[in-house]
Amino acid sequence: MNALREAVLPPAPVRREEALRYAMQPRAYDGGPIPALEDCVRMAEGKVPCRAVWRLFPVIRKGDGLDLGFAVTGSRKLQTHLAGCDRIVLFALTAGMEMERLILRAKALSPLHGLMMNAVGAAIAEEACDRLCGRLAAAFPEDTLRDRFSPGYGDLPLSLQKDIFTALSCEKRLGLTLTGSLLMQPGKSVTAIVGLSPRKEDHREPLP
């Protein structure tokens, strides 16, 4: 049941507002186009496909914790979030080294370009995650997909990254590495758990 699957998310238009949020501009900017953002969008748009691997696991409540099929966790927030789910999709997604290069390139132009390209990279990875989840929803039409939940959210420890890397062969399949601080490199990468609930649900648990 739980084959390792790969997905390539081809480049998509950059969501400028989302990028601006990542650049710490929390609400609409009314001064017209920001030249540095436009430069970065021009440099990155259409250039950065994202790659992902994912795998389906059964999830079993085990005493105080959750057996996720690839690791056991005592995270309360995740338990609440996955209430009613009998399986999860575990995925890792990255905008890869190409995005890192674009960020370096932008930093060579100006600090503002560096900030903007970093934000564009985050927006690209997030958008690709949304598309991947859309594909997952189509692949599991009988189920309801919960919002994605990543190590570091709430009380789900970052140390789970090590188990995720093993379960998904992230090093080999995506070229990801983990630093001593458990940060992923290349930096514009996401790992997440998506709960599958075998019922139609309208209401979703909000993220912590």
Partner 1 sequence: MSRFREFLQNNLVILDGGMGTLLQTRGLKPGEAPERWGLGHRDVIRAIHKAYFDAGSHVVMANTFGANPVRYDGTTLETMVLTAVSDAQAARDESDAPQEKFVALDLGPTGQLLKPFGPLDFEDAVSAFAQVVRLGVRAGVDCAVIETMNDSQETRAALLAVKENSDLPVLVCNAYGSDAKLMSGASPEVMTAILEGLGADAIGVNCSYGPETMAPVVERYLACASVPVICKPNAGLPSVADGKTVYDVDAVSFAASMRTLCEKGVRVLGGCCGTTPEYIRALVRAAADLAPQSLQPKRRTVIASRSRALVLGDRPVMIGERINPTGKKRFQKALAEGDMGYILAEGIAQEERGAEALDVNVGAPGIDEAAMLPRVTDELQAVTDLPLQLDSTSPAALEAALRLYNGKAMINSVNGSEASMDAVFPLMKKYGGVAVGLTLDERGIPSTAEERLAIAERIIGRAAEYGIGPESLVFDPLTMTVSADGRAARVTLDALHLIRERTGCRTVLGVSNVSFGLPAREVIGSAFLTMALERGLSAAIMNPKSDAMRGAFLSFLALNGMDEHCARYIAHAASLPAMQPAAAAGAPASPAQTASGKGLRYAVLKGLCAEASRTASSELDAGRDPLALVQEEIIPALNEVGEGFEVKTLFLPQLMMSAEAAEAAFREIKARAAADPAMQRCPIVLATVKGDVHDIGKNIVRLILENYGYRVTDLGRDVPPEAVLDAVVRLHAPICGLSALMTTTVPAMEETIALIHREAPWCRVMVGGAVLTEAYAAQIGADAYARDAMAAVRCAEALEAGT
170 torsion bin: left (phi>0), alpha (psi -120 to 50), beta (else): alpha
**Pairwise CA distance, residues 43 & 36, whole Å:** 11
Closer CB to partner 1, 179 or 203, in the complex: 179
User: What minimum distance in Å lies between the beta carbon of 116 and partner 1?
Assistant: 7
Do the strands 189-197 and 87-94 form a parallel or antiparallel pair, or are they unpaired?
antiparallel
User: What minimum distance in Å lies between the beta carbon of 169 and partner 1?
Assistant: 9
User: What minimum distance in Å lies between the beta carbon of 200 and partner 1?
Assistant: 28
Closer CB to partner 1, 42 or 62, in the complex: 42
Residues in contact with partner 1 by the rule CB under 8 A: 1-4, 6, 8, 20, 23-26, 29-37, 49, 51, 96-98, 100-101, 103-105, 107-112, 114-116, 118, 162-163, 166-167, 171-172, 174-175, 177, 179-181, 183, 185-186
Closer CB to partner 1, 100 or 147, in the complex: 100
**Pairwise CA distance, residues 206 & 100, whole Å:** 32
List the Cα angle 36/40/45 in 5-degree steps. Answer: 150
User: What are the two backbone dihedrals, phi and then psi, of residue 201, each rounded to the nearest 5 degrees?
Assistant: -125, 135
User: What minimum distance in Å lies between the beta carbon of 208 and partner 1?
Assistant: 20
In the block, tokens 């996401």 appear at 190
Closer CB to partner 1, 116 or 194, in the complex: 116
